[in-house]
Amino acid sequence: MFKPHQTRSSYGHRMTSTDTTADQLHAVLTDLAAVVENIAPAQDNGPTPCAEWDVAALRTHVVGWLATFAAGFADSDGQAPRADLKGYIAPEDPAAEIRHRADELDAALRAGAAQRPLQLGEAAMPGELALGMILWEYQVHGWDLAAATGQLWEPPAAATRASREFAPSMLTPDYQGEGKAFAPPVTPPADPTPLAQLVALSGRDADWKPPMSRVARGTFDIVMTPGPPEVGAQVDRFDFTKTFVGDLDGTGAGVMLSCGDPGSGSAGYVAMETVHSRIHDKDGEFALQQAGTMHAGEQTLTYEVVPGSGRGGLTGITGAFHLTVDDDGTHRYTLTYHI
């Protein structure tokens, strides 16, 4: 177990290991905010070294847990507001949220919050142990996001060394291994930096690079069939089927729900569809989700692969689907994807 060494007098005139860790953590979170701020919208669906999360999901994970930890340390009883992130939605400006929560956490630590347990639901962890864990995990997740989006990640060397010493106490067989919270440790590259050692110990390949994206283009036909209205007849339903040709060759089926007044130019819709297809050289299936609005002559559309929906040869697929309609009604698609 990690046991921080107390070196400060009761009046706080000398620095403690907690103060040092707090300094390091604030620096790491400041750097993390800059990385998050520089993530382009087009990168949201890209893969990360955490195979179960794309960039957007990992960003939500780090922001949500930081808000949880900061609020827990700031609470006089050490009670965090949640025990998991079910239902959590990140703010529109995640970088600003990271900076705000970093300051909130730092203030709580300076006031002695690490001297009491941090309570997550029914589970409690010694505050100083939780602080060490947070410093470690946010350096690793910072590397995850930076590596996935082509950015530089250089946390303070002292912070990396501290986490390199701390991590083995947490990476027990109960938590590290195939199918567990942390993947098995990876052999670091030759002559590794302290950061490369830390990410390898945490189950990452320090040489990981995002796979090159591929682009599939073609056309599709769609047949839409009105269904029974939903939600007290306030929402229209349409079932549809699609036939894709081109680089994506296969069929799809889905349902669309719409509401508003399309005749006046103001309405919105959502749709989910499953696709059974061959994309280039891979056969499998996946799902797409759409969300579209139109108002005051402006139209917006989000159309993307549902993370985690890939099956068969398309397992792990992420990406964005771009739709255009020619004057003659031909539907054209461009799917930019990673596997």
pLDDT, one tens digit per residue, over 41-71 is: 878 888 899 988 999 999 999 999 999 999 9
- Res 167: pLDDT: 94
Angstrom distances, CA of residue 1 to CA of 25, 125, 275: 20, 12, 49
| Residue pLDDT, tens place only, 179-190 | 888 889 999 999
Closest C-alpha to 104, from 127, 73, 59: 73
Specify the amino acid at residue 49.
P
Question: In the structure, what pLDDT confidence band is assigned to residue 289 with cuts at 50, 70 and 90?
Answer: very high
Q: Using a pLDDT cut of 70, give the percent of the chain over it.
A: 95
**H or E element in which residue 318 lies:** strand 318-325
Instruction: List the one residue out of 175, 97, 103 whose CA is nearest residue 136.
Output: 175
What's residue 16's pLDDT? 52
Instruction: Give the span between the Cα atoms of 157 and 135, in whole angstroms.
Output: 12
Task: List, in order of start, the domains of the chain with CATH numbers.
Answer: 17-201 (1.20.120.450), 214-338 (2.40.350.10)
pLDDT of residue 79: 97
pLDDT value of residue 12:
36
- Could you report the per-residue pLDDT of 111-132, keeping only the tens digit for each? 999 999 999 999 999 999 999 9
Model confidence at 264, pLDDT cuts 50, 70, 90, reads confident
The shares of helix, strand and coil residues in the chain, as percent rounded to the nearest 5, are: 35, 30, 35
Q: How far apart are CA 96 and CA 252, in angstroms?
A: 40
Q: Position of tokens 């946390």? A: 155
